[in-house]
């Protein structure tokens, strides 16, 4: 056989292998989905209270689901879902954020693209109406990954994001929570009540307010993304930065493993590198996204923290875990062509 003939047959064999591979990828069984959390909840939650809070979560899921259905990216889907919750005063993110010890609202947010592993975060932002858009700007327009304080606000202003006065974020119930927390000299999660001796373990808010928000998604192209936004913890020290804007702690996405968003005692989530820990467990130990979330929550508990984790793996399987004993986690999911589900926060949801 002539050399050229051999070459042609080699190319034909190689390209049919490529075609087969391409077919395999297409046949790959993954299910696009958006998953959100709205922070943690007290155990005294009533069905009526849940119903009130279910509505904005459903709205956020629908916003993300629409993006995915229209062939949008996971990045756009999580941004859309987070913005709905940032605009709703019931959540501790954007409007309705908690107060620092000096009476400021300082907002933290981050976002990560599992395809490119690019990420951005803002911390201690005081004037960006939708901090998640600030996080995207850091990712898209700067060489940096995290920009804090005045710098974050300036960047947002420069690129024309909507800027607001601090009073935009104000809500009576968050301000009352600050006054109570200061009286008792406590730093509180949304789900905690000032004065409780068991702090960090109990949740008896007069009203179980919604908290930090997170969204993770897998789009039709098989790309993962994750985003988180928060006001942090009531009576936190002015200038304190939590896990939510930190890539690997509060937010993480990697197309080879999982997308993750966390809520809870940020100072402990940072020490566990919680969001990345879920990915590492999945990638190197056991590709079971539920177990990966659970073992990470065990580490949070071990260090005295409380909170929850949502995760999706590259196939669209979901993992939900939280510290449970005295806690629930607002969470929900929407698959394409299906009605969004918001789960009763006090029950374990898992598939």
Sites of contact with ligand ASP (CB under 6 A): 39, 189-190, 211-212, 230, 232-233, 242-244, 263-264, 266, 307
Q: Is 297 annotated as a binding residue?
A: no
Q: Is 265 annotated as a binding residue?
A: yes
Integer CA distances (angstroms), 277 to 113, 314, 329, in order: 17, 16, 20
What b/e readout covers 7-36, taking b as 16+ CB neighbours within 10 angstroms?
A: eeeeeeeeeeeeeeeeeeeeeeeeebbbbb
The smaller minimum CB distance to ligand ASP, of residues 240 and 314, is found at 240
**Annotated binding-site residue? 242:** yes
Q: Which residue's CB is nearer to ligand ASP, number 317 or number 331?
A: 331
The closest alpha carbon to 79, from 45, 36, 117, 26, belongs to 36
Helix (H) or strand (E) holding 26: helix 3-27
Helix axes 74-87, 131-141, angle to 10 degrees: 150
Smallest gap from Cβ 253 to ligand ASP, in A, equals: 17
Q: Rounded to the nearest whole angstrom, what is the least distance from the CB of residue 221 to ligand ASP in the complex?
A: 30
- Work out how close the CB of 104 gets to ligand ASP at its nearest, in angstroms, rounded to a whole number: 14
DSSP classification of residue 237:
P
Paired tokens of 337: 């062509």
Q: Are 280 and 274 in contact (CB under 8 A)?
A: no
| Active-site residue list | 212
Both tokens of residue 8?
A: 């042609």
264 is in an annotated binding site: yes
- The distance of closest approach from Cβ of residue 212 to ligand ASP in the complex, given in angstroms and rounded to an integer, is 3
266 labelled as ligand-binding? yes
Taking the least distance from each CB to ligand ASP, the nearer of 307 and 319 is 307
Nearest approach, Cβ of 87 to ligand ASP (angstroms)? 18
Q: 72, exposed or middle or buried, with CB in 10 Å at 0-12, 13-18, 19+?
A: middle
The length of the chain in residues reads: 351
| DSSP type of residue 284 | I
Q: How far apart are CA 235 and CA 189, in angstroms?
A: 9
* 39 assigned binding-site residue: no
Nearest residue to ligand ASP by CB is 266
Instruction: Kindly report the number of other CB atoms within 10 A of residue 169's CB atom.
Output: 24
Cβ of residue 262: shortest distance to ligand ASP, in angstroms? 7
Which spans in 70-194 are helix H?
74-87, 131-141, 149-158, 172-183
Query: Which residue, 32 or 232, has its beta carbon nearer to ligand ASP?
Result: 232
C-alpha span between 234 and 86 (Å, rounded)? 17
Question: Does residue 332 have a known ligand-binding role?
Answer: no
For the annotated binding site for substrate, the residues are 240-243, 263-266
For the annotated binding site, the residues are 240-243, 263-266
């Amino acid at each position: 056989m002539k050399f050229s003939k051999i070459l042609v047959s080699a190319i034909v064999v190689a390209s049919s292998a490529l075609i087969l591979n391409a077919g395999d990828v297409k046949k790959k069984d993954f299910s696009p989905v958006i998953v959100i959390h709205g922070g943690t909840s007290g155990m005294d939650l009533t069905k009526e209270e849940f119903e009130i809070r279910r509505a904005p979560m459903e709205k956020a899921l629908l916003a993300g689901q629409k993006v995915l259905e229209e062939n949008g990216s996971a990045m756009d889907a999580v941004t859309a879902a987070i913005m709905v919750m940032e605009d709703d005063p019931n959540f501790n993110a954007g409007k309705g954020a908690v107060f620092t010890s000096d009476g400021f609202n300082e907002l933290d947010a981050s976002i990560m693209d599992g395809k490119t592993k690019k990420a951005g975060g803002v911390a201690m932002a005081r004037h960006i109406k939708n901090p998640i858009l600030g996080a995207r700007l850091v990712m898209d327009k700067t060489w940096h990954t995290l920009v804090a304080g005045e710098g974050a606000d300036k960047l947002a202003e420069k690129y024309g994001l909507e800027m607001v006065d601090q009073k935009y974020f104000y809500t009576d119930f968050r301000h009352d929570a600050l006054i109570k927390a200061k009286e008792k000299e406590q730093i509180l999660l949304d789900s905690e009540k000032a004065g409780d001796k068991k702090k960090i373990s109990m949740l008896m808010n007069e009203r179980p307010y919604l908290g930090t928000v997170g969204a993770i998604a897998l789009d039709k192209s098989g790309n993962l993304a994750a985003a988180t936004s928060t006001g942090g913890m009531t009576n936190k020290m002015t200038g304190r930065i939590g896990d939510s804007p930190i890539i690997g702690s509060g937010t993480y996405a990697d197309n080879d493993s999982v997308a993750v968003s966390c809520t809870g005692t940020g100072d402990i989530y940072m020490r566990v590198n919680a969001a990345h820990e879920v990915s590492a467990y999945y990638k190197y130990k056991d590709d079971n996204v539920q177990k990966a979330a659970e073992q990470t929550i065990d580490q949070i508990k071990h260090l005295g923290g409380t909170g929850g984790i949502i995760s999706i793996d590259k196939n669209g399987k979901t993992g939900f875990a939280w510290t449970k004993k005295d806690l629930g986690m607002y969470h929900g999911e929407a698959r394409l062509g299906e009605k969004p589900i918001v789960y009763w926060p006090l029950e374990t949801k898992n598939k």
